[in-house]
């Protein structure tokens, strides 16, 4: 990296970090109680992964890279939680909530990630939209901007991708 590029990265880091932290907090707000991965940790891990390649072409390229990094981190975290030495598929449940316990968040993240990989082979742009919306928590307007789409097109792509992923996950669960 050239000295002027390094300086501009250092100047932009606080702005980018704050936005990543906001997006991570938004994403983590929807997670189950007892989640061990916090928004700050998610951002730090994503930043470390992003640090391996700091040659982003523009803001859109950066957020696409951040979405992929966060997806991988959440997927790896879900896989780690499902390992036997970490309690297998067990989950923390308050005694008061025993009757309403649902499938673990880790299972859901893995199912979405696996189906998303299949969608990426068929339709990379729709898969990228899912990463930006589901794993990073961007709004339709923000994701559309990152992908260079109109907001109505992003909404149509989202509807298709959600339906496709739902069917793919349902089929995988029946196997």
Which sequence spans correspond to the domains of the chain?
3-174
Determine how many CB atoms are found less than 10 A away from the CB of residue 97: 11
CA angle at residue 79 from 74 to 84, to 5 degrees? 145
User: Model confidence over 54-99: pLDDT tens digits?
Assistant: 677 777 888 788 878 888 888 888 777 777 554 544 555 443 343 3
The first and second tokens of residue 30, run together, are 């929807």
E runs forming strands in 34-128: none
Name the residue among 100, 106, 155 with its Cα closest to residue 126. 155
Q: With a cut of 70, which residues of the chain have pLDDT below it?
A: 1-13, 27-36, 52-54, 84-105
pTM score: 0.54
């Amino acid at each position: 990296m050239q000295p002027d590029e390094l300086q501009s990265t250092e100047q932009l880091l606080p702005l980018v970090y704050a936005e990543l932290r906001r997006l991570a907090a938004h994403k983590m707000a929807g997670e189950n109680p007892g989640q061990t991965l916090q928004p700050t940790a998610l951002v730090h891990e994503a930043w470390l992964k992003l640090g391996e390649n700091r040659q982003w072409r523009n803001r859109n390229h950066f957020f696409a890279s951040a979405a992929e990094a966060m997806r991988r981190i959440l997927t790896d975290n879900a896989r780690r939680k499902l390992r036997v030495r970490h309690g297998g598929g067990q989950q923390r449940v308050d005694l008061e909530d025993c009757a309403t316990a649902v499938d673990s968040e880790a299972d859901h993240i893995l199912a979405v990630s696996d189906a998303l990989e299949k969608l990426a082979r068929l339709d990379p742009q729709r898969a990228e939209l899912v990463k930006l919306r589901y794993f990073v928590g961007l709004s339709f307007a923000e994701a559309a901007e990152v992908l260079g789409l109109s907001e109505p097109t992003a909404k149509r792509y989202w509807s298709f991708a959600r339906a496709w992923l739902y069917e793919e996950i349902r089929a995988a669960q029946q196997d």
